[in-house]
Amino acid sequence: MKNKSISIRFASIISASLCALSFCKGLSANVVYADEDKNKEQLLSNYEDNNDNIDSFLGDEYRIIKQESYYQQYEPHFLNNKRDTIPNNSNIVKNVHTGNNSGIYYESFDPSNFAQVTSSLANNPNNQEIQTVANRGQVQNPKDAEHYPTARMIAIFYNVYNSPSDGPYTVWCYGTAFLEGPYLAVTSGHCVYGDVSDDNVDNPRFADEIKFYFGLNGSNEISDDYLRFAKAQTSFIELDYALTRCHLRDWAAVELDRRVGDYIGWYGKISNLTTIGASVTSYGYPGNANPSDTMFEYSGVIVNNPSGAGFKIDYSIISAGGQSGSPIFWENENGVKFVCGVLSASNAANTQSGGPYFTTFIFNFLNRYFTSQQGNYSYPNLHFNTTQNNVGNYKIRIINDSSWIRSVQYNSKMCFYNDGINWQNLSDKVTITINPYSSVIVTISKNWFADAIVASYVYQSKRCITCANNVQNSQPSEHYNLINA
């Protein structure tokens, strides 16, 4: 694209300070400029959403883009010969810093855990259910700075059995991925974990091997000797997705075996960008590309924001097989792009596409790969919006931006900051329940000289406190504390 810049971090770039964005819609949006200092974040103003009951766009007419339509499948599908629903060598990972369960499900790639039996590839692979699209253009130089962090991704499943006597086979599945750190790729959950068997039994598992070719420009470049080639070391998905393959959790993070991002950079990102009407673009590797294995660029707008359902955003970008895992970019007024979500689904008519947007949880989880701050992701903070300021009270939205149902306590009167941040001397506490990735609007009364609001929840004998002042602003100044309950 001409006259456009994209937020990419290179190891050799000197950190620079960028201006805060003039942005008024987005929910507690965090931004990391990839070419800034490691720990620098900017907090954007919040989107005041007065509709708590927005229906999800996921209806019967919507579906996940299934592997048979998203992937080029060169071989019959697989079934583990032990018929495991979850591979033996996978488990629930502990929080990387605290040791607490984080709701992330993972498998490490260890060649000793499988026998690499590979069948010969079919000469004429069949691209099933590939849709022809019009709103796209081929990227002429996928190795330029803007496109290089996007990769053709190949997931390989070994020892595929459809029955005890039907196999083994090898299945090759194609998708798209992109860099969000020096050795961290992001893609769709169903690109790394799923069931591709033909036995009509649900047998999901992780791919045995995943390869990435960043900036690939044609099938002739596919080789393990490719300059910007990498393999998966560990793949992460949300536990919810491992158990249910819920559309709203269809994202994955993959640790690579080399720091390819130190040479080609990685994308900046923004959380909670759900503004209806916002222009978005996407880069990916559609299965019907001509020439094959070439990158295409798409454009569209956000047409639906199902905040009531949380983790899903709908884009008017039309998709084709192979685009699964493509980055979705939002562009600010200065022409700088930030990844705001992952392309993973389309409607039955293939007139619209969607995927999970970067919530605060995803944002923080990805951040740990290139910031020196060690976040505590087992205790995600509550957040506030001021939605209304009346003479005697405030309407405050309390936001639960996590995958857990929270029993939340808040003080119904304003309090002094020191009391709130330490959860002491509070005599007007009220308990409410907030669903995952949802919010509740409460009324908090003014209280003489007190100028703070506070809410908290208890988990694993700890109380996670959010206390804020400057409540007269739509985005109060939030402060956090974690104490023994």
pLDDT band at 427 (very low <50, low <70, confident <90, very high): very high
**Helix, strand, coil share of the chain (percent; to 5):** 10, 40, 55
Average of per-residue pLDDT across 311-329: 71
pLDDT at 93: 31
Residue 180 above 70 pLDDT?
A: yes
Distance separating alpha carbons of residues 123 and 120, to the nearest angstrom: 9
* Residue 330 banded pLDDT, cuts 50, 70, 90: confident
pLDDT of 100 > 50? The answer is: no
pLDDT at 474: 67
Cut 0.85: pTM above it: no
Count of residues in the chain: 485
- What per-residue confidence (pLDDT) applies to 198? 75
Higher pLDDT pick, 339 / 66: 339
Q: Which amino acid is at 472?
A: Q
Angstrom distance (rounded) from CA 3 to CA 338: 16
Are residues 34 and 8 in contact, defined by beta-carbon separation less than 8 angstroms?
Answer: yes
Q: What is the pLDDT of residue 349?
A: 59
pLDDT of residue 264: 84
Bridge partners of 464, per DSSP, are: 457, 482
Kindly report, residue by residue over 134-162, the tens digit of the pLDDT: 356 889 899 988 899 999 999 998 887 77
Check: CB of residue 390 under 8 Å from CB of residue 426: no
Compute the average pLDDT of residues 236-258.
83
Query: Given this model, what pLDDT does residue 305 score?
Result: 53
If one counts every other C-beta atom within 10 angstroms of the C-beta of residue 349, the result is 10
State yes or no: pLDDT of 308 exceeds 60: no
Could you give the residue ranges of the DSSP H alpha helices within 148-217?
none
> What burial letters (b/e) apply to 392-426, b meaning 16+ CB within 10 Å?
ebbbbbbbbbbbeebebbbbbbbbbbebbbebeeb
Q: Which is higher by pLDDT, 335 or 304?
A: 335
Peptide bond into 164 cis (omega under 30): no
Identify the residue with better confidence: 283 or 94: 283
Tell me if 273 sits within 8 A of 330, measured CB to CB: yes
Helix (H) or strand (E) holding 453: strand 453-459
pLDDT at 64: 25
417 Cβ neighbours under 8 A, 6+ residues apart: 451, 452, 467, 469, 479
Give me the pLDDT at residue 322, please: 81
User: Is residue 471 a contact partner of residue 414, using CB atoms and an 8 Å limit?
Assistant: yes
- 66 closest CA partner among 186, 161, 191: 191
Q: Give the pLDDT score at 217.
A: 93
Least confident of 37-51, 281-295, 422-436: 37-51
Reduced 3-state DSSP string for 97-155: CCCCEEEEEEEECCHHHCCCCCCCCCCCCEECCCCCCCCEEECCCCCCCCCCCEEEEEE
Residue 211 has pLDDT above 90, yes or no: yes
Contact 254, 234 (CB under 8 A): yes
Q: How far is residue 485 CA from its own chain's centroid?
A: 31
